A = this chain, B = another copy of it.
Amino acid sequence: MKIIVDSLGSDKGPAEILKASRMAADEFGYQIILIGNETELKNISTKNNISLQNINIVNCSEEISMTDDPTDIMKEKSECSMAEGLRMLSQDEGDAFVSAGNSGALAVGATLIVKRIPGIKRCAFAPIIPKENGFFMLIDSGANIECKPDMLYQFGVMGSIYMKNVMVVKDPKVGLVNIGSEECKGGSLRCDAYNLLKNNSEINFVGNIEARDIPSGNTDVLVCDGFTGNIILKLYEGMSKELFNKFKQILLKNTKTKLAGVLLNQELKEFKKSMDYHEFGGAPLMGISKPVFKAHGNSDFRAFKSAIRLAGEYAKRNVSKIISENIN
């Protein structure tokens, strides 16, 4: 298994990505093609004593940044590391591509360079998010602001296939994010998507899911338009952070609460980690003909290594092929 890795565009810099690549090569036996500034990467390798065995560096020092316009990947920034990685993937020089860079550029570049699976209307970002007992996939979490019913339907089918094959969830439950549990809620977009999903006997469609039931519910794939998904993803993050911050303030309030803080120290650390969706590593860009993964911009080496692992699983399980067979 050969994974193409973009060492540029991450908030934490290339050292973190090199470290993740090293660990992925060692732990999963993957070959890594690392795109980035060769001199810099070799310096990091020497300085930190990180072996480059099974890591091939492809020199490229142009970076597409978070503030660049996504379409720049096809214009001014067409020689950036992300574009180079996507080109290599499209030319079968690797089995999957992972980047922590500009999400919009990754969606544009993957669509235009690697191309969508024939029959798929749009690609979608689909992060895995923790919930009470496990995790769920949120598809789409931001690639498509405006959606049509058949797009939501395809998101449900793709999400179900991913969860079954990569996350090894048996008969994944697919739900439609909506403002009521009744069949025809949320305007014609969701009403029509509901009927399309309901009529596909290949997926385990469980109907509409209200937002209050997302954190505690048992749905494995939550389908929504990219605007709604982005709101859910970020509110999840903001609420977790806010509640932990408030709680921290309580623990610093007085001697009594400080003592409680000492007693709870280990449990709180674990709790916080269990609520952090970054821990799950990358989000697949579903619908692209080959595995393209977006690691969070702020990923540390562990999260990035997890993204590399998932990208490898995606390739190994032939997810794109299964989607193609189920869509057409």
Contact = CB atoms under 8 A, between A and B. Distances in A.
Given A263-B256, A275-B243, A146 B187 contact: yes
Interface stretch (A9-17, A148-156, A229-237, A283-291): A229-237
Contacts of A246: 132, 271, 275
A227 B179 contact: yes
Contact of A239 (B179, B210, B215, B268): B215
A51 interface: no
Interface in A155-184: 177, 179
A154 B245 CA distance: 34
B187 A145 contact: yes
Interface residues of A, number: 50
A72 interface: no
Contacts of A230: 179, 211
A26 interface: no
Interface of A: 131-132, 142, 145-146, 177, 179, 186-187, 210-216, 226-228, 230-243, 245-247, 250-251, 253, 256-257, 259-261, 263-264, 267-268, 271, 275
Given A132-B242, A211-B238, 10 more contacts: A131-B242, A145-B186, A179-B234, A212-B234, A216-B238, A216-B241, A216-B242, A231-B232, A243-B275, A250-B271
